[in-house]
């Protein structure tokens, strides 16, 4: 096994294997979410969602105008891009201080619309929008409910995870058959990887977590048929899917790690130890694995064993990899104002 963060790390900083980071665009206001797919990028800023064609250098506003639920709380935004269609969501408050969650969709040349809404008065329990993902023609989202099972002996109070199953979005929305309520999902064209939520009653856990020791399921996004499943030992905190490979970040009492599995057989391909550092925003593209730890962005080529590390100016938002392009958004202070910018670098052979 190769340590990604120990003395065996081949590139202590940006070096052979990547071009220097460049700025794709800047915004006058902070960016709250970022996504990319193919030759397009999308971002949320000032309560609006925009899609930009990198080739044509044209930007389109696809969401935010005329929708009461368009302006979400800053730290709650989630955004995905699939082709020319965006899917996004988060939480907002009304004048009566009720807190709602919503998922919306919009595409280039079409107005945006709301797909889902729920009232959530408390942050600690109620509805949780856990994932919004996209790739090609596949867009999907997952939300779960944590219910307080009150009774004559409460406290102690019991909490239980219930509905909703994973939903796929195209011209409308539909349940992905067989896909249980999930704490994390990933998409690759035509498929979704699902990390089911632990539905056992508990007195202490009021936020949904994955089922300990798996499973992780890969399903056809339309029919729901099971493509494969595997069961990492520990708690899965992130999942990614690309072609014939699924990857997960796993944490247990020993050490966090990234595990790669075959989508065809469900067999473990490789384990990449992370020691005691917590990684976030896992991404896959071919043989490339990308993740971040704080402001540090790591890319590892599982075929050539080349590794690259880049330090972002601020905490990366929506870090992802598309082909050989690694991109993210970040917010930097210029004078007294916080402004957004989208950065990227290209991996080279």
Summarize pLDDT for 60-116 with one digit per residue, the tens: 998 865 555 568 888 889 999 999 999 999 888 777 777 788 888 888 877 667 776
pLDDT at site 278 = 75
Whole-prediction pTM: 0.90
How much of the chain exceeds pLDDT 70, in percent? 84
- Count other C-beta atoms under 10 Å from residue 345's C-beta: 20
pLDDT in tens, 174-232: 899 999 999 999 999 899 999 999 887 666 656 788 999 989 999 999 999 999 999 99
Q: What pLDDT sits at residue 274?
A: 86
- pLDDT tier at 2, thresholds 50, 70, 90: very low
Q: Are 270 and 259 in contact (CB under 8 A)?
A: yes
Q: What pLDDT was estimated at residue 332?
A: 94
Helical (H) or strand (E) element with 108: none
Give the pLDDT score at 17: 67
Query: Tell me, what DSSP letter sits at residue 277?
Result: P
State the pairing for strand pair 110-119/99-107: antiparallel
Q: What are phi and psi of 221, to 5 degrees?
A: -65, -25
Q: Could you give the dihedral angle defined by the CA atoms of residues 226, 187, 133 and 206, in that order, rounded to the nearest 10 degrees?
A: 40
Task: Work out the average pLDDT over 320-336.
Answer: 94
Tell me the pLDDT of the chain averaged across its residues: 86
Q: 160-174 burial string, b = 16+ CB within 10 Å, else e?
A: ebeebbbbbbeeebe
255 confidence band (pLDDT: 50, 70, 90): confident
């Amino acid at each position: 096994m190769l340590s990604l963060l120990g003395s065996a790390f081949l590139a202590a900083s940006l070096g052979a294997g990547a071009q220097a980071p460049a700025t794709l665009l800047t915004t006058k206001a902070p960016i709250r979410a970022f996504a990319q797919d193919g030759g397009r990028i999308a971002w949320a800023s000032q309560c609006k969602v925009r899609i930009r064609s990198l080739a044509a250098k044209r930007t389109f506003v696809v969401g935010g105008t005329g929708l009461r639920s368009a302006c979400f709380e800053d730290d709650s935004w989630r955004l995905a891009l699939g082709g020319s269609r965006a899917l996004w969501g988060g939480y907002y408050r009304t004048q009566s201080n009720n807190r709602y969650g919503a998922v919306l969709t919009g595409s280039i040349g079409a107005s945006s619309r709301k797909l889902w809404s729920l009232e959530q008065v408390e942050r600690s329990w109620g509805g949780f929008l856990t994932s919004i993902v996209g790739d090609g023609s596949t867009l999907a989202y997952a939300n779960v409910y944590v219910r307080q099972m009150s009774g004559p002996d409460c406290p102690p109070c019991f909490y239980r995870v219930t509905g909703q199953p994973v939903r796929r979005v195209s011209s409308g929305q539909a349940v992905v058959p067989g896909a249980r309520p999930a704490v994390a999902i990933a998409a690759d064209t035509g498929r979704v990887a699902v990390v089911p939520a632990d539905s056992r009653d508990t007195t202490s856990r009021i936020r949904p977590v994955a089922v300990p020791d798996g499973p992780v399921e890969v399903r056809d996004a339309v029919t729901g048929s099971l493509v494969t499943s595997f069961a990492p030992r520990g708690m899965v905190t992130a999942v990614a899917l690309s072609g014939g490979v699924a990857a997960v970040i796993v944490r247990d009492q020993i050490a966090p790690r990234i595990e790669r599995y075959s989508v065809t057989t469900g067999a473990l391909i490789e384990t990449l130890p992370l020691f005691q550092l917590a990684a976030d925003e896992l991404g896959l593209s071919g043989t490339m694995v990308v993740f971040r730890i704080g402001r540090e962005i790591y890319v590892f080529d599982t075929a050539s064993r080349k590794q690259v590390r880049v330090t972002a100016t601020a905490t990366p938002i929506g870090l992802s990899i598309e082909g050989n392009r690694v991109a993210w958004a970040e917010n930097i202070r210029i004078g007294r104002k916080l402004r957004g910018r989208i950065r990227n670098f290209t991996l080279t052979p």
